[in-house]
Protein backbone atom coordinates (compact mmCIF):
# COMPACT_ATOMS: atom_id res chain seq x y z
CA UNK A 1 0.00 0.00 0.00
CA UNK A 2 1.57 3.37 -0.99
CA UNK A 3 2.31 5.93 1.67
CA UNK A 4 -0.19 8.83 1.84
CA UNK A 5 1.08 11.93 0.10
CA UNK A 6 2.48 14.52 2.48
CA UNK A 7 0.94 17.98 2.47
CA UNK A 8 3.10 20.45 0.55
CA UNK A 9 2.99 24.11 1.43
CA UNK A 10 2.77 26.41 -1.58
CA UNK A 11 3.02 30.13 -0.88
CA UNK A 12 3.53 31.59 -4.36
CA UNK A 13 1.25 31.80 -7.34
CA UNK A 14 2.35 32.42 -10.95
CA UNK A 15 1.17 35.66 -12.53
CA UNK A 16 0.74 33.71 -15.75
CA UNK A 17 0.24 29.98 -16.24
CA UNK A 18 1.11 29.76 -19.93
CA UNK A 19 4.32 30.72 -21.78
CA UNK A 20 5.06 30.11 -25.44
CA UNK A 21 7.62 31.11 -28.09
CA UNK A 22 6.83 34.44 -29.72
CA UNK A 23 5.36 34.40 -33.21
CA UNK A 24 4.24 30.75 -33.25
CA UNK A 25 0.49 30.00 -32.93
CA UNK A 26 -0.37 27.90 -29.90
CA UNK A 27 -2.05 25.24 -32.04
CA UNK A 28 1.27 24.56 -33.75
CA UNK A 29 3.15 23.96 -30.50
CA UNK A 30 3.62 20.89 -28.37
CA UNK A 31 3.43 21.49 -24.61
CA UNK A 32 5.41 20.69 -21.51
CA UNK A 33 3.81 20.83 -18.07
CA UNK A 34 5.04 22.01 -14.69
CA UNK A 35 3.12 21.33 -11.49
CA UNK A 36 2.40 24.00 -8.88
CA UNK A 37 4.81 22.39 -6.44
CA UNK A 38 7.45 22.51 -9.19
CA UNK A 39 6.79 26.23 -9.62
CA UNK A 40 7.08 26.72 -5.87
CA UNK A 41 10.40 24.87 -5.72
CA UNK A 42 11.76 27.03 -8.57
CA UNK A 43 10.52 30.17 -6.85
CA UNK A 44 12.20 29.30 -3.58
CA UNK A 45 15.49 27.95 -4.96
CA UNK A 46 16.16 29.93 -8.14
CA UNK A 47 14.28 33.18 -7.50
CA UNK A 48 14.78 33.63 -3.75
CA UNK A 49 18.06 31.69 -3.58
CA UNK A 50 17.14 29.37 -0.72
CA UNK A 51 19.16 26.26 -0.07
CA UNK A 52 17.66 22.80 -0.48
CA UNK A 53 17.25 22.51 3.29
CA UNK A 54 15.57 25.91 3.54
CA UNK A 55 13.29 25.24 0.59
CA UNK A 56 12.31 21.82 1.92
CA UNK A 57 11.43 23.34 5.28
CA UNK A 58 9.26 26.02 3.63
CA UNK A 59 7.38 23.41 1.57
CA UNK A 60 7.12 20.94 4.48
CA UNK A 61 8.84 18.14 2.55
CA UNK A 62 12.12 16.28 2.86
CA UNK A 63 15.30 17.55 1.20
CA UNK A 64 15.21 14.55 -1.13
CA UNK A 65 11.64 15.31 -2.21
CA UNK A 66 12.42 19.00 -2.65
CA UNK A 67 15.40 18.14 -4.85
CA UNK A 68 13.30 15.81 -6.99
CA UNK A 69 10.53 18.39 -7.44
CA UNK A 70 13.07 21.09 -8.29
CA UNK A 71 14.83 18.82 -10.78
CA UNK A 72 11.57 18.03 -12.57
CA UNK A 73 10.67 21.72 -12.77
CA UNK A 74 14.08 22.68 -14.14
CA UNK A 75 13.85 19.96 -16.78
CA UNK A 76 10.43 21.28 -17.83
CA UNK A 77 11.86 24.77 -18.29
CA UNK A 78 14.90 23.39 -20.14
CA UNK A 79 12.71 21.37 -22.52
CA UNK A 80 10.57 24.41 -23.21
CA UNK A 81 13.61 26.56 -24.05
CA UNK A 82 15.64 23.97 -25.97
CA UNK A 83 12.79 22.38 -27.95
CA UNK A 84 10.66 25.51 -28.36
CA UNK A 85 7.65 24.10 -26.48
CA UNK A 86 4.79 25.90 -24.77
CA UNK A 87 5.17 25.77 -20.96
CA UNK A 88 1.98 25.33 -18.91
CA UNK A 89 1.96 25.61 -15.10
CA UNK A 90 -0.91 23.35 -14.12
CA UNK A 91 -2.77 23.15 -10.83
CA UNK A 92 -2.17 19.49 -10.01
CA UNK A 93 -5.44 17.90 -8.95
CA UNK A 94 -3.37 15.26 -7.16
CA UNK A 95 -2.09 17.92 -4.72
CA UNK A 96 -5.25 18.91 -2.85
CA UNK A 97 -3.62 20.02 0.40
CA UNK A 98 -1.74 23.11 -0.72
CA UNK A 99 -1.32 26.02 1.65
CA UNK A 100 -3.53 28.88 0.59
CA UNK A 101 -1.92 31.42 -1.70
CA UNK A 102 -3.27 34.61 -3.32
CA UNK A 103 -6.13 33.68 -5.65
CA UNK A 104 -5.56 35.71 -8.77
CA UNK A 105 -8.42 33.92 -10.47
CA UNK A 106 -10.72 36.00 -8.26
CA UNK A 107 -9.17 39.17 -9.61
CA UNK A 108 -9.49 37.83 -13.12
CA UNK A 109 -13.16 37.07 -12.49
CA UNK A 110 -13.79 40.75 -11.85
CA UNK A 111 -12.54 41.47 -15.36
CA UNK A 112 -14.97 38.95 -16.85
CA UNK A 113 -18.54 39.92 -17.59
CA UNK A 114 -20.78 38.23 -15.05
CA UNK A 115 -23.63 38.42 -17.59
CA UNK A 116 -21.87 36.37 -20.26
CA UNK A 117 -22.03 32.59 -20.43
CA UNK A 118 -20.53 30.25 -23.02
CA UNK A 119 -22.12 27.00 -24.19
CA UNK A 120 -20.42 24.30 -26.24
CA UNK A 121 -22.50 23.94 -29.37
CA UNK A 122 -22.72 21.67 -32.40
CA UNK A 123 -23.60 24.71 -34.52
CA UNK A 124 -23.95 28.51 -34.51
CA UNK A 125 -27.66 28.71 -33.57
CA UNK A 126 -29.49 28.67 -30.25
CA UNK A 127 -31.55 25.75 -31.57
CA UNK A 128 -28.43 23.64 -32.11
CA UNK A 129 -27.65 21.00 -29.55
CA UNK A 130 -25.10 21.35 -26.76
CA UNK A 131 -21.88 19.63 -27.79
CA UNK A 132 -21.05 17.24 -24.90
CA UNK A 133 -17.34 17.62 -25.64
CA UNK A 134 -15.35 20.66 -24.60
CA UNK A 135 -11.92 20.70 -26.25
CA UNK A 136 -13.22 19.08 -29.43
CA UNK A 137 -16.51 21.00 -29.55
CA UNK A 138 -17.46 22.47 -32.92
CA UNK A 139 -17.76 25.89 -31.33
CA UNK A 140 -19.17 27.99 -28.50
CA UNK A 141 -22.17 30.27 -28.33
CA UNK A 142 -21.53 33.19 -25.98
CA UNK A 143 -24.76 34.71 -24.62
CA UNK A 144 -25.09 38.11 -22.94
CA UNK A 145 -27.87 37.54 -20.41
CA UNK A 146 -28.66 41.27 -20.19
CA UNK A 147 -29.59 41.55 -23.86
CA UNK A 148 -29.81 37.85 -24.85
CA UNK A 149 -27.54 38.69 -27.79
CA UNK A 150 -25.42 35.72 -28.85
CA UNK A 151 -22.07 35.37 -30.59
CA UNK A 152 -20.64 32.22 -32.11
CA UNK A 153 -16.98 31.38 -31.51
CA UNK A 154 -15.64 28.77 -33.93
CA UNK A 155 -13.48 26.09 -32.31
CA UNK A 156 -12.24 24.47 -35.50
CA UNK A 157 -8.60 25.28 -34.72
CA UNK A 158 -8.74 23.24 -31.50
CA UNK A 159 -10.42 20.31 -33.26
CA UNK A 160 -7.44 20.00 -35.58
CA UNK A 161 -4.90 19.73 -32.74
CA UNK A 162 -3.45 16.35 -31.87
CA UNK A 163 -2.99 17.54 -28.26
CA UNK A 164 -3.68 20.70 -26.29
CA UNK A 165 -7.21 21.11 -27.71
CA UNK A 166 -8.74 21.63 -24.27
CA UNK A 167 -6.27 24.35 -23.32
CA UNK A 168 -6.76 26.17 -26.62
CA UNK A 169 -10.54 25.95 -26.20
CA UNK A 170 -10.22 27.33 -22.66
CA UNK A 171 -8.25 30.28 -24.04
CA UNK A 172 -11.12 30.91 -26.48
CA UNK A 173 -13.65 30.96 -23.63
CA UNK A 174 -11.56 33.30 -21.48
CA UNK A 175 -10.86 35.66 -24.38
CA UNK A 176 -14.60 35.80 -25.13
CA UNK A 177 -15.16 37.28 -21.66
CA UNK A 178 -17.46 34.53 -20.37
CA UNK A 179 -17.59 33.87 -16.64
CA UNK A 180 -19.49 30.57 -16.91
CA UNK A 181 -19.11 27.59 -19.25
CA UNK A 182 -21.93 25.11 -19.87
CA UNK A 183 -20.79 21.84 -21.43
CA UNK A 184 -20.85 18.08 -21.12
CA UNK A 185 -17.43 17.05 -19.84
CA UNK A 186 -14.05 18.71 -19.26
CA UNK A 187 -10.64 17.03 -19.00
CA UNK A 188 -8.02 17.87 -16.35
CA UNK A 189 -5.83 20.21 -18.44
CA UNK A 190 -8.76 22.23 -19.75
CA UNK A 191 -10.27 22.29 -16.25
CA UNK A 192 -7.09 23.78 -14.79
CA UNK A 193 -6.91 26.40 -17.55
CA UNK A 194 -10.56 27.41 -17.10
CA UNK A 195 -10.33 27.61 -13.31
CA UNK A 196 -7.10 29.61 -13.64
CA UNK A 197 -9.06 32.09 -15.78
CA UNK A 198 -11.86 32.39 -13.23
CA UNK A 199 -14.46 30.49 -15.28
CA UNK A 200 -17.14 28.43 -13.48
CA UNK A 201 -17.92 25.12 -15.17
CA UNK A 202 -21.43 23.75 -15.47
CA UNK A 203 -21.29 20.15 -16.70
CA UNK A 204 -23.56 17.27 -17.75
CA UNK A 205 -25.46 19.63 -20.06
CA UNK A 206 -25.65 17.23 -23.01
CA UNK A 207 -28.95 16.13 -24.53
CA UNK A 208 -30.49 19.62 -24.81
CA UNK A 209 -30.34 22.61 -27.10
CA UNK A 210 -28.26 25.69 -26.38
CA UNK A 211 -31.44 27.66 -25.67
CA UNK A 212 -32.54 25.03 -23.15
CA UNK A 213 -29.12 25.16 -21.47
CA UNK A 214 -29.42 28.94 -21.12
CA UNK A 215 -32.88 28.58 -19.56
CA UNK A 216 -31.55 25.96 -17.15
CA UNK A 217 -28.81 28.38 -16.11
CA UNK A 218 -31.30 31.22 -15.56
CA UNK A 219 -33.49 28.89 -13.50
CA UNK A 220 -30.55 27.88 -11.28
CA UNK A 221 -30.66 24.26 -12.44
CA UNK A 222 -27.03 23.96 -13.57
CA UNK A 223 -24.76 21.46 -11.82
CA UNK A 224 -21.27 22.91 -11.32
CA UNK A 225 -18.12 20.85 -10.98
CA UNK A 226 -15.02 21.38 -8.84
CA UNK A 227 -13.03 18.68 -10.60
CA UNK A 228 -12.48 17.33 -14.13
CA UNK A 229 -15.20 14.90 -15.16
CA UNK A 230 -13.53 13.24 -18.11
Answer whether residue 222 shows pLDDT above 60: yes
Taking the C-alpha atoms of residue 88 and residue 196, their distance in angstroms, rounded to an integer, is: 11
Name the pairing type of β-strands 18-19 and 86-90: antiparallel
More confident residue, 230 or 168: 168
What was the pLDDT predicted at 1? 45
What was the pLDDT predicted at 135? 87
pLDDT in tens, 49-74: 999 999 999 888 999 999 999 999 99
Answer whether residue 226 shows pLDDT above 80: yes
pTM: 0.54
Answer whether residue 218 shows pLDDT above 50: yes
Rounded to the nearest integer, the mean pLDDT of the chain is 82
**Would you give the distance in Å from CA 46 to the centre of its chain?**
25
Q: How confident is the model at residue 186 (pLDDT cuts 50, 70, 90)?
A: very high
What was the pLDDT predicted at 12? 74
Q: Is the separation of the CB atoms in 90 and 16 below 8 Å?
A: no
* DSSP-assigned states of every residue in 147-205: TTEEEEEE-HHHHT-SS-HHHHHHHHHHHTTEEEEE-S---HHHHHHHHHTT-EEEE--
Taking the C-alpha atoms of residue 106 and residue 195, their distance in angstroms, rounded to an integer, is: 10
Answer whether residue 125 shows pLDDT above 50: yes
**Which domains, ranges and CATH numbers included, belong to the chain?**
18-102 (1.10.10), 106-224 (3.30.420.130)
Mean pLDDT (whole number) for 166-171: 84
Among the listed residues 118, 147, 119, the one whose alpha carbon sits nearest the alpha carbon of residue 208? 119
What was the pLDDT predicted at 146? 85
Kindly state the percentage of the chain with pLDDT values over 90: 40
Answer whether residue 128 shows pLDDT above 50: yes
Answer whether residue 106 shows pLDDT above 80: no
More confident residue, 29 or 46: 46
What was the pLDDT predicted at 102? 38
Q: How confident is the model at residue 100 (pLDDT cuts 50, 70, 90)?
A: very low
What was the pLDDT predicted at 164? 66
Q: How confident is the model at residue 192 (pLDDT cuts 50, 70, 90)?
A: confident
Which DSSP helix (H) or strand (E) runs through 223? strand 223-224
Answer whether residue 94 shows pLDDT above 70: no
Taking the C-alpha atoms of residue 160 and residue 14, their distance in angstroms, rounded to an integer, is: 29
Answer whether residue 187 shows pLDDT above 70: yes
Amino acid sequence: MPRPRKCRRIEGCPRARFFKPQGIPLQELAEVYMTMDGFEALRLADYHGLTAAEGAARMHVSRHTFGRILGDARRAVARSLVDGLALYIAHDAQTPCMHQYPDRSAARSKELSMTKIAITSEGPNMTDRVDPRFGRAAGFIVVDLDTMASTYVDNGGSQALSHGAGIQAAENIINAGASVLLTGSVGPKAFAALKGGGVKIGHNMGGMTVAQAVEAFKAGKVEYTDAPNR
